Structure 1
Amino acid sequence: MTEQRDELLGRRRLHLRLRFLAGESTGSYVTRLASRNRLPVEAVLRSMGTGPMPVDPQYTELYLSRYARERLATLAGYTVAEMQTRLVSLRDAFLMPDGAEDDWEWPWDARAGYLVQACSLCAARRGTRSPAWLILPDPWHVCLRHQRWTDNSRNAQHPYIDLSGLKDVIRAQRRLNHLGRQLGPAVRWVFADACSILACSRYLEDPAQTEEWAFLATQLGERRVRPLAQLSVLSLLTRDLAWLEVRRLHGDLGRAGYREWLDRVTRRHGYAFAGPLREWHSKHRPLGRGFPELFGDQPPPGNVVLRVTGHELPSCLAAVEDLSCLPWVRLPNAMDRLFL
C-alpha cells in the first residue's frame, strides 16, 4: 500500500539554515541540512512527502517532485527560485514527472553530470565536516582558493590532490575560468571540441611514461592523474579555438585570418594535433554575418545555435560528448563510479 503524505509536515522552516556550496548536489544538500539540524535524513525526507530510503550522496543524485521541491524550499528557508539557482538538480528539467508515485528518487546513476567530492576546506567554511558532493558536467573540480583538485575517484586515502606544487594546473584552470567569463555558455562547446582534439591526438594518454608525472601516477593511478597532466594543453587548445570562434561569430573573421590560424595553431601544438585541428577548422568557416548574441547570458533559440555553430545549446550539466561537433570526444577521465 502506498504511504500517505503527512500534509502537516514541511510547512515550517527548520531551526537552522544551511549555507550553499557552489555546484552542490541535492542529495548532499539535504543530507547536510539534516545533519545541521541534528535530524536523521529520513525525518527531513518525510517532511517532503513519501519515497524510498535515503542513499549516501556520494553514490547518486537525489531527484524531487514539484511538491517535494516546494517542501524542501520551505524547510531550508529559501524560495524555490533561490533553491533552483543554487542546486541545479532542482531545476525543472530534472524534476520527477508529474503523477509519479513517489516524491523523490535516488536512481542507480545520476541522470546528468558527475558526482565529485567538494573541497573539504570550502565545506568547513559552510559549517560541515563530513564530505559534501558536487554535481558537475566534468568529473573533476579545481578549488583555486585552497589549490586542491577533487574528482569522482572516491579514494579515501587521497580524497584530494594538492596543487600547490602543480602551478601549470592552477594556471590552466584560471585560463579556462577567464574564457568562461568571456564566452558565457558558448565556452562549453569550445571546451568540448578541445577535449575531442586532445583525445584524437592521444596526448599524454599514459602520464606514468613522463618524468614529471610518473611519481603521482604510481601513487594515484594513471587514469586519475591523466586529466591533471592534460589540463594545461587542454586549456591552451580551448583558448586557441575560442580565438577563432569569437571572431567568426562576431563576423570579424576574414579569409586570410582564417587560413593563418590553422598554420599558427598547428605549429604551436605540434604534428600530432594537425589532423584533428584541420577537421575542426573545416567545420568553422567564416560567416557572412556575425552572431555575437551567442556569447551572452540569453543566447538565441537552440535551433538557431545549432544551425550557426554546429553545436547543441549547452545545458548546465551537458557532457562534452553531447556538445562537440567532432567524432573522437572523450574526457581524460570519462568513467564515473571509479569506486566500484
Structure 2
Amino acid sequence: MFRRISKYWWCQMLGWTAYFVINVFFTYTFSNKFPNAFHYVSMLILIAFGVLSTHLFRSLINRFNWVNSSVEKQVLLFFTMMAGTGVVLYLGYYAVIKVLLRREISPVVLGILGSFLITTLWWLIYFAWHYIERNRSSQVNQLKLETTVKELELKTIKAQMNPHFIFNALNSIRALVDENPQRARTAITELSNILRSSMQTEKSETVSLENELNIVKDYLALEHIRFEERLSVVYEIDPDTLELQVPPMMLQTLVENAIKHGISRVIRGGSVYITSSLMGMQHVITIENTGQLVENDLNSHGLGLQSTRQRLSLLFGNKASFEIRNKDEQTVVAKVVMPLL
C-alpha cells in the first residue's frame, strides 16, 4: 500500500506534519501550555487549504511543463506560485474560520504575510528539488552519451582493424600458394581459427588474456609456416594474469607489428618474447622482438599502434599507458600497462 504513494505525496504529508508539530512545540514553549482544541482545528484547516492550494498550482505547472522553462521564467514562476498559493491559502482559511465558524483570527495583513511565508518555503523546496533532479538527470544523460560515443569509437576501431589484419594474413598465404600448396591449406585453416576467435570477441569491450593468447598462438602458428626456423617465440605468462581483461585483438596487433616491422626485416629472422605480469595494482604486458625502430617508425601513426593507444585511452583513461621503443641495438620493446579491473 505505502509503496504506491508517490514521493510528492510523501513530501506533502511529512512537510505539513512537520509544520503541525513545530507549531504545537512553539505554542507550548511560549505559553507553557498545550494549545486549546480550536487551535488544533484551525491548524488542520490551514494545512488542508495549504495542501489544496499547493497541489492545485503544482498541477498547473505539470500540465504546461513550466518547471523546465528557462531560469528567468522560473524565477517569475516562483513568485507567481508563491503569491497565488498564499492568497488561496489565506482566503480559504479566512472563509472557514471567520465566515463559517465566526471566530476571531489575526489581522488580515499578518495573516497574508504568514501565508506567504509558508508558501514561500514550500515553493523553495519544490523548485530546489526539481533543480537538483534536473541536474542529476543531465549528468546521467551526459554519462550515457559519453558511453555511447565510446562504444561507437571502439566499434569503429575494430571495424578498421579486422580488414587490416585479414589483408596482412592473406598476403602471407598468397606467398605460399605456389611454393607449397599443402602449407597454404594449413595456413588457411589457421586463419579460419583466428577469424572465428576474433568474431566471438567482436561484441566485447574486453576479453580475458587467455582468450587473447589463443588468437596470438594461432597467428604465430600461421607465421611459423612462412618464417620456419627464422622465427622463435617465448612466452612468460603469470598464471594469475590469464583471467585479467584486455582489449580484444590488442596483443595480436602488437605481435603482428613485431613480426611485420621487426622479424621480417632481419635476414636471419629473430625472436618474439611475450610476457604478462602483475606489478602492484597494474597488469603489465611486454612484447620484445628482434629488430630496430628507425626514425620513420618512431614517428609512425600506423593503424595498429594508433588503435592500441585509442582503445587503452577509451577503456582506462589516463590509468593505462603504452610505449614502444628500442631497448638496445638489436631489440624493440612494446609495453602496455593497464589497471586491474
Q: TM-score, normalised by structure 1?
A: 0.21
Q: TM-score, normalised by structure 2?
A: 0.21
- The structure in which a higher percent of residues are strand is 2
- Structure number with the bigger relative contact order (C-alpha 8 A, sep ≥ 6) is 1
Structure possessing the higher radius of gyration over alpha carbons: 2
- The structure in which a higher percent of residues are helix is 2
